[in-house]
Structure 1
Amino acid sequence: MKSIKSKLLISVGFIVLIFSTILFYRTYTLITSNVKNLTNQQLSLALNFDLAIREYVAANIRPLMFNLLPEGKFKPETMSTSFVARHIFNKVQTKFPDYIIKFSADNPRNPVNQAGSEELNMIKYFNENPQKKVWTGEINIGDKSYFAKFSAMRMEKSCLRCHGNPADAPAELLEIYGSKASFNLPLGETIGLDTIAIPKEKVTALFFNDAIKNFTLLGGGLFLLCISLVFILKFVITDRLSRITEHFVHTEEKDGVVEIKPIDIGGRDEITTLTNNFNKLANRLNDYYTLLEEKVEERTKELSKANEQLKKEIEERKQAETMLKRSENTLKSIFKSAPIGIGLVTHRILGWTNNQFQQMVGYSQDELKGKNARILYESDDEYERVGFEMISQIQKSGTGTVESQFKRNDGHLVDILLRSAPINPVDFSEGRIFTVMDITQTKLMQDQLIRSERLAAIGQLAASIAHEINSPLQAVTVMLGTLKKNYRDNEALSNQLELLKGAFSSIRDTVKNLLDLNRPGKEVKQSANVNKIIEEIINLFQSHFKKNKIKINLDLSSNIPDINASPLQLNQCVLNLINNAVEAIIGTCTSKSGSIAEMPSGGRIAIETNFNKGKIIVKITDTGPGIPKEDLQYIFDPFFTRKKKMGMGVGLSISHRIIYDHGGFITGENLPQGGVLMTITLPAN
């Protein structure tokens, strides 16, 4: 464990280190900035001095000389800005031999002013960037590095007399320099540079001299600061704290209850206040020790008595926990083995649920827990209706019962009876226990019973109507046959009589269909195989399927047993379902003239058989448009049809009656991906 002295020294050292780093870095940046600024000022001063000389010669001396001298005379010593500036700076350069102060051009009149490769690059730079007048930076000239400043000299109108057309130049200028160098220069082009350059090594030497002086001064100051801080920490804080620590350690090492001695620390600061308060606290503790011994003896007697009471309470609690555990196990067994769904819901958020509920809705516990009960309903309206009805009943009677439908995870709907009661009738936020009973089969049986009663009533009515129609119909049919025989030579009349006979035959078939609603059970039952019946129908209508481009997929189980049934009736039932599937796939469309034509597109019909738990299950699916949702509950009702110009709407009613008379049931539903699934369930026995 590190002492406070070490921690303080480390902390102070760390702070001093950070402060020193910041200070040294700031000093370095200031020195760098100062040297850079100083160098830039020197370059600017020299360049401005050069430009001022040129400007003075061009603006004052040269015009005066042109006025004083005869026409055609030219004296470069007073009239050439480059000549005057170069001779002045040659004298200055004797004091600064390492500095570069010059004028340079690509095609100068004086070879001394010929630009080097670096200066030619700068002339090119200024020509490519006409908005630039000055460039400052680091550059290599020859084999040395310089801090340099270049100023572009561009061709202006005032320069045309000496640098434009040679014919316009003074005659003496042509005698001195000739007519080729620095003539015919275009306006705006960079014709030369004024260059000021300081060797980098001079700037670096200046930087290091300043840095050594400043860093030496800073290092000495920081060293004195560290020595002062160490002295203050040692004699004012750490030594006094060490005495207090030694006193605490010495007192702690003694065994048993001992008297705490006071600490003697001089001074009038916070540490002295701390020791004085400690001494007062020690005196109070010494007094408490004496009082505590008396209290301990008294409390020991009370604890012994309380301990006996606690043993008794522990024994009673163990018995209660055993009974609670038994009750919990009983409830778990009921929860798991209950034939209905059970669960907890809080503010319509699902909590725990039993396996029966999870199987009922097709979700796992993890998929249900924490989810809103909305996932179990087909629509928002149904979700809101059930919630409102349930809360209303609970507020009135303490429990609620609502009949609804749950949407399984696979999309199928399940008819359910939902009951619910709150855990705490006063506070609904603690949740409600609910039970769910699957009443799909119950409702199916009720619908079948109602439909059977309706079919029986319709069948009786149909039998009465058939009796009244068949007698005169038979007489009319015989009369038509006689008339056709007597007038067989009259072809037109015979054709008309044949049409009448066909119409009356259609009436007879319609009456027969009505009678079949009430007497399908009259057919003789014998051993029959569902797979064989299906295969015979498919083979019989193979050309019809091919014509309408319909593919048939058969998946017939080899485990299907023979059953005691009417092959003719089962054949009629399956044929009705397949015919409906074909009509749904090819569809119908009404033309502008009102005629009905089959759609040219094809589709697929899948027929599957299975044997499961003593039941034969036949599933027929198609890829048609499906049945409107509002029509699903009426498809097995007699005379219900959406085929406006064909069919009576008794096919599915007859099929339903046939399956019912064989002890089974038939259902229809839309598939999520489109199409209809018709399911026949027949008992094997």
Structure 2
Amino acid sequence: MAKQHPKTIKHRFVVGLSVIMAVLGMFFAVVISMNLRNQLVTDTEHKASLVLSQAEAVQTYIRHVLRPSMYELLPPDGFLLEAMSTSFVTRRVMSDLNAQGDQFRYRRVAVRARNPDYEADAFERALMDRFAKDPELTRVEEITERDGEEVFVAARPVRLEASCLHCHGDPASAPKALIARYGDKRGFWRHDGELVGVDAVTMPVAGALGQIKGATFSFVALFALGLGVFYLTVQLFFDRLVVVNLRRVTDVMRRYFPKEAGEEPNAPPGEGEIEEIYAGIEAFASRLKEARGKIEDHAQDLERTVTARTRELAHEADERRSDVALFVELLSILNMSQTRAELLTGALARIAERFGARAVAYECEFSGGGSVSWPPGDSPPPPPAEWRKLVAEDRLRLTGDAAFIPVRTTDVSRGLLRLYFLPDGPGPDSDATELYRAIGQQLGIALENLDAINSLLGQNALLASIFDGISDPLALVDSSFGIILANEPARELARALRRELGGAVAPPPVAIPGAPLRLPPEVFGPAPGDDAASPAAMARIDPTISTIDLPDGRSFAVTRYPLASPNGQDGRMVVYARENTAERRMREQMRQTEKLVAVGKLAAGLAHEINNPLGVIACYAELLRQNETDPQALDDLAVIERHAIMAKKVLRDLLDFARPRQASTGPCDIAALLKSLSRLFEVQAQARKVRLETTIDDNLPVARADASALEQVLSNLLLNALDAVSPETGEVRIAARPGPDDDSVSILVSDNGPGIPPQDLTRIFDPFFTTKEAGRGSGLGLAVVFGLLRDMGGRVEVENADGAVFTVILPACGPACQEEAS
């Protein structure tokens, strides 16, 4: 077998190993590039999702909370674009959050948009076409190219709901403020569920992709450098391995063949390398000898060299301690500063002290510019003409008497820091370039943190203003249902309850900081059925809605929104209360009206069918009486006539109830009417040994009512009151007084009887319902009262207060009413 020469073996080994390492390097470069790109896509998706979620949260809040509240506050045709338009508010909020547009770009666009500035362009129309073709598609997230730039796009469709058609449907029914601002041509004639536009967030990724490419190329370069070092190392290792073996062979030859070892025959191919190795070893030995001589020569200077180096290291350590102290002081200045000027003034003075500069200046790169210098009052030289380019390229420039340091964070350029030294001084330290860069980056981070703190304080103040501006009671409670925060309407509710209930409201476990009152637990405590002592009640995901009835007769619709904490132990809850007393009363009146209508139709039919037979019975009883002389028969006929007359009275009540006369709405003098009724019923009261008391306010306005109908109403109420009280001790009171703002008149009929059982309070106005004994009442009196007052535009209320209290409320007769009557 032919012997392979060492040079051939070395060449093949090194070439094969180099190819393997190059393939591995390319593989790892591709893997790193793909991983960085995937990480970029993931981070960008998260940021875009947060932006879209924030936009959706703002729209949901406006649609379900702010817009209904504004409709309640504004007149029927009122519309406030800045508070009720989801598109307008979302664009303003998202623009404020990203005023520079360098982090992301949020656009809410539409086809035939009301505002032409937000008309969808070709790129956004393409997104709408994708959503239109696939109705199941709810989100698009991808990296694409827009206007020649690589961007990440996250978009979701905008489809109209039924509530949106008030402003986007027929222009004739749209708010006048909207028509006045945008006209009636664009943004109308939409329909429910129509795809009208998209919410799109675009984030530039070209820079990040460039950084990924740069990182990949850097890895390839470093790997190539490492491969070169590895190549040289393998060469040395191979040479050493071969040379050692050849030396052993040479020693054997010299021991056993001294003559042949001294000859110099023609060396075969490959042995020239061995000779070179041998010569190299000789040269190495010679160099080793020379080095040994030098070491001996330098041994005497070793102590002096060590001492000098020790001094250098001590000086360097002092500089490092000064650098650390500088960074610590910069952090301290940031903590004590409230404005950029305070931060820069303190930082520039400390930087000048550290580097021995005669003057320091900072040039802001943001729009508006601005410069801060130290010492105060001195004007440093102007910055170089290309200073913005220095900052953009993150280039540090050192001259003979100045240092220009870019101030920036990881991806944001903020300005230029300039240090000026004395012309005859040492000038900037060329070995401290990394320190200069670190100072610039630290100053940039401090400015960024200060801006973030100021922005956070501004957002906090804005949220506090919104919270206090909500007109309904609103509070934040902890897991023990103690009040953490409450707005002014909630506090006003607490004060009102204490005034009305005489302090009967028990305080919750936690008081409002800085407030003398505690909020009522009847409203802001746990919902009915909740375990207030268990934090599990706060862990529910869905909000709970309940109706709370207070002892003073008012009721509240209370909505509780649980806020789950990250650890799931100390949850909080937002409680929103809206008074619905008037709504509930209106629903009760509507139900009562429906009952009266149904029973009225039945009563009309019954009265018509029964009245004729009763007339025949009465007529024949009268005929029999004329021809009858037997006393027993005459008594029987009297019974028949008496009950027939009673039945006809019930039928007459039915007819009055079923076919009430049309009540006029002219002016009615309540004072005169009450005085007349008082004289009329005073005789009955004296006969029953009951005290009748009448109180009429001197400033009582004229009511808008039918005097005869109102007389019938009050007569029914007075008869019921006389029947309810006991002889000797009974009292019946009539009082009339003006309502709030003199827009109504209230008439109270009260007694000191047993009152009305609580379970019957909601039924006393029902037809045929009576609490009297059989034969004493038909159960139609209060139903007729309710119907007559309804026809006159009034209402009647009842409550128990040391007896039954009926309150008749009638509208006051204004000047227009009195002019019509005249």
**TM-score, normalisation: structure 1:** 0.48
Higher relative contact order (CA 8 A, sep 6+): 1
Higher radius of gyration, 1 or 2: 1
